[in-house]
Amino acid sequence: MSKNLFCAILLAVVLSASACGVQQKQDNRVPSDASIPADMADITNKHWKLVEINGNSVNLPESAAMAFILLNPDGTISGNLGCNLFTGSFSLQEGNRISFSQLANTQKMCIDMSIETEMIRVLQIADNYNLNEKQLVLNRARMAPLARFEAVCD
């Protein structure tokens, strides 16, 4: 299968699974190793648009897609890095703890890869989050926020 065909199929799968307004079956099982935070519904099934990374506003080129993440109730994450798509897993623990794993992304060469590189790095090192009605902030320890996202639909 050619790389372009693979990327087109992956894009179609991610977009169809993450379309706004799509109702997904809720998994009511509680993991044995952690309790699910009460705000699980507030953080999942929303497109979180990247608006700031490492204290800098995100200004993607016009040709770039919106950089976003989508956290699903089943513990999977998907999204767009601005050019390449990605997928993986996440887990939430008490105390607003979060971790991301099994991250994989397409490998298209893009004009400016700096946002993509930083966004993947943030997902690899973030260990906690802050959440309000329309904003998700990923952090590491007590350092300054790594990335800020705004909800664009739910």
Instruction: Find, among 1, 80, 8, the residue nearest to 48 by Cα.
Output: 80
Give the CA distances from residue 44 to residues 39, 70, 83, 125, in Å, rounded to whole numbers and listed in that order.
Answer: 9, 7, 23, 20
Q: What is the pLDDT of residues 49-66, one digit of tens each?
A: 999 999 999 987 776 788
pLDDT single digits (tens) 14-23: 444 444 443 3
pLDDT more than 90, % of the chain = 56
Q: Is the pLDDT of residue 124 over 50?
A: yes
**3-19+34-153 CATH pick, 2.60.40.10, 1.20.1250.20, 2.40.128.270, 3.30.1330.10:** 2.40.128.270
Domain range summary for the chain, segments of one domain joined by +: 3-19+34-153
- Strand-strand pairing, 56-57 and 68-71: unpaired
pTM (two decimals): 0.74
Distance, CA of 101 to CA of 1 (rounded, Å)? 27
Q: For residue 17, is it left (φ>0), alpha (ψ between -120 and 50) or beta?
A: alpha
